[in-house]
């Protein structure tokens, strides 16, 4: 299945169609209901009325990874939680995106030297698209991360298969 | 006669197409990447314990039916209070409400007398008596 996914070369028609699809996809990002530590409080504030993430179409967290496109990792990932984070990421359907929120998730934060049980950056277990630094980040910072992710999603390839600046072709999804 | 229903036919075809087209488009364009971790049940990242289809005790059924007694009582108390608001004969209104509540409460009394409110003990005792 998915025989038409990334099946066409990049030309004017497929670029236009992918632009339209990207506009739709970036306006309907479904994040997953997922909070680990103190950054989750800021993430909840972003979902709530004051900051209102819903105006970007990303304000309704889904309760299952099957329905979500985005996993925001908000808070310290320790060794015990890392297994769960990896599994939750694995259970999401492609295409899936990751926002690393907070200093701990971006690279260890205050635990970088003495935190024997902290994963020094969630990028060591799952591929991260957007890093949002801060301890914890202001809600505006997370919203900036969402806006950056929107830019990235809107440039994704659905129909077309093209050569990127680093010489690689659009990556097909393969079983891990 | 068939042509009289052409509007219905158009409606049906449009409805079926509106459902089928996005599903077929999705099948054609979505990436399919299946592996065991993704196919396992979602238990918030934990290892799933046991089977999804478990048996429930039949005695929950009795408890649920008893709950209906209270539910009916509360649900019908609201219209009673609304209807008899500012009634000419308040004692009669109160009496009517109490009679209704008593009739519904009799059901609970019957269950109580039969021992349905007890979870385990009554069943064991009855079984011993029958044996």
In this complex, how many residue pairs, one in chain A and one in chain B, have their CB atoms less than 8 Å apart?
A: 54
Q: Could you read off the pLDDT of B76-110 as tens digits, one per residue?
A: 889 988 888 888 888 888 998 899 899 988 988 98
* Cβ distance of B30 and A159 shorter than 8 Å: no
Closest partner CB to B31 (pick from A88, A90, A95): A95
Tell me: do B64 and B122 sit in the same domain: yes
Chain A residues within an 8 Å CB radius of B37: 87, 90-91
> Could you tell me which chain B residue has the CA closest to the CA of A7?
B29
- Same domain, yes or no: B28 and B90: no
Q: Is the pLDDT of residue B13 over 90?
A: yes
Q: Which is more confidently placed, B118 or B129?
A: B118
Q: Is B125 inside any structural domain?
A: yes
Q: What is the ipTM of this complex?
A: 0.72
B74 and B28 part of one domain: no
Q: Which of A12-21, A82-91, A158-167, B99-108 has the lowest mean pLDDT?
A: A158-167
* Alpha-carbon distances of A125 from A42, A122, B42, B119, rounded to whole Å: 23, 6, 19, 49
Are B114 and B86 within one domain? yes
Domain that holds residue B101: 59-130
Note whether residue B49 is domain-resident: no
Whether residues B120 and B65 fall in one domain: yes
> Do B63 and B125 belong to one domain?
yes
Residue B109 covered by a domain: yes
Average pLDDT over every residue of A55-70: 90
Residue B5, Cβ neighbours under 10 Å: how many?
Answer: 11
Find the chain A residues whose C-beta atoms sit closer than 8 A to any C-beta of B: 1-5, 64-66, 83-85, 87-88, 90-91, 93-95, 158-159, 172-176
CA-CA distance, B77 to B105, in Å (whole number)?
Answer: 13
Does B32 lie in the same domain as B84?
A: no
* B48, part of any domain: no
Q: What is the mean pLDDT of chain A?
A: 88
pLDDT at B55: 81
| Total structural domains within chain B | 2
Give the C-alpha separation, A62 to B129, whole Å: 54
How far is residue B11's CA from residue B17's CA, in Å, rounded to a whole number? 10
Whether residue B29 and residue A91 make contact (CB cut-off 8 A), yes or no, is: no
Please tell me whether residues B119 and B78 are part of one structural domain. Answer: yes
Task: Indicate the pLDDT class of residue A1, thresholds 50, 70 and 90.
Answer: low
Whether residues B64 and B34 fall in one domain? no
Is B28 in contact with A2 (Cβ distance < 8 A)?
A: yes
CA distance readout (Å), A40 to A43, A74, A76, A122, B45: 5, 5, 10, 15, 18
Domains and CATH numbers, chain A: 30-153 (3.40.50.12280)
Interface probe, candidates A87, A95, A125, chain B, greatest B C-beta count within 10 A: A87
CB within 8 Å of B42: residues ≥ 6 apart: A64, A65, A66, A91
Residue B35 lies in a domain: yes
pLDDT digits over A94-106, tens only?
889 999 999 999 9
Domain assignment of residue B50, yes or no: no
Question: Which pTM value belongs to this model?
Answer: 0.71
Residue-wise pLDDT for B107-122, tens only, equals: 889 888 887 777 765 5
Q: Which residues contact A167 (CB under 8 A, 6 or more apart)?
A: none
- Cα distance between residue A164 and residue A151, in whole Å: 16
- Considering the domain architecture, whether residues B79 and B125 belong to the same structural domain is answered as yes
How far, in Å, CA of A144 to CA of A74, rounded? 15
Residue B45 resides in a domain: no
Do residue B6 and residue B68 come from a single domain?
Answer: no
pLDDT at B124 over 80: no
DSSP structural state of residue A32: B
Closest CA to A64 of A98, A97, A32, A28: A32
Q: Which helix (H) or strand (E) holds A99?
A: strand A97-101
* Residue B34 binned pLDDT confidence (cut-offs 50, 70, 90): confident
Q: Which helix (H) or strand (E) holds B15?
A: helix B6-29
Checking B91-99 for CB contacts under 8 A at 24+ apart, the result is none
Q: For residues B66 and B112, state if they share a domain.
A: yes
A44 CA: distance to closest CA in chain B (Å): 19
Q: What percent of chain B has pLDDT over 90?
A: 18
Confirm whether B53 is domain-assigned: no
Tell me whether residue B29 is exposed, middle or buried, using C-beta atoms within 10 angstroms of its C-beta: 0 to 12, 13 to 18, 19 or more: middle
* pLDDT confidence of residue B123: 52
Question: pLDDT per residue over A8-17, tens digit each?
Answer: 888 888 889 8
């Amino acid at each position: 299945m998915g025989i038409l996914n990334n099946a066409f070369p990049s030309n004017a028609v497929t670029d236009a169609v992918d632009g339209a699809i990207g506009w739709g996809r970036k306006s309907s990002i479904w994040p997953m209901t997922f909070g680990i530590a103190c950054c989750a409080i800021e993430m909840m504030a972003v979902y709530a009325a004051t900051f209102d993430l819903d105006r970007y179409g990303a304000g309704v967290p889904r309760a299952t990874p099957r329905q979500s496109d985005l996993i925001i990792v908000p808070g310290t990932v320790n060794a015990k939680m890392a297994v769960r984070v990896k599994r939750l990421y694995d259970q999401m359907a492609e295409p899936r995106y990751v926002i690393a929120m907070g200093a701990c998730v971006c690279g260890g934060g205050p635990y970088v030297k003495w935190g024997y049980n902290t994963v020094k950056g969630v990028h060591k277990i799952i591929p991260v698209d957007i890093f949002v630094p801060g301890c914890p980040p202001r809600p505006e910072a997370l919203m900036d991360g969402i806006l950056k992710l929107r830019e990235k999603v809107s440039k994704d390839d659905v129909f077309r298969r093209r050569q990127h600046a680093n010489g690689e072709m659009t990556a097909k999804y393969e079983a891990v | 006669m068939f042509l009289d229903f052409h509007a219905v036919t158009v409606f049906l075809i449009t409805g079926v197409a509106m459902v089928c087209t996005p599903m077929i488009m999705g099948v054609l364009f979505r990436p399919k990447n299946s592996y065991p971790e993704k196919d396992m049940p979602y238990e918030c990242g934990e290892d799933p314990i046991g089977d999804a289809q478990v048996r429930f005790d039949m005695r929950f059924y009795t408890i649920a039916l008893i709950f209906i007694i209270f539910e009916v009582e509360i649900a019908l108390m609201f219209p009673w209070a609304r209807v008899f608001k500012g009634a000419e004969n308040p004692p009669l209104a109160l009496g009517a409400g109490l009679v209704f509540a008593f009739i519904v409460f009799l059901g609970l009394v019957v269950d109580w007398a039969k021992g349905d409110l007890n979870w385990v003990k009554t069943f064991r005792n009855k079984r011993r008596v029958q044996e």
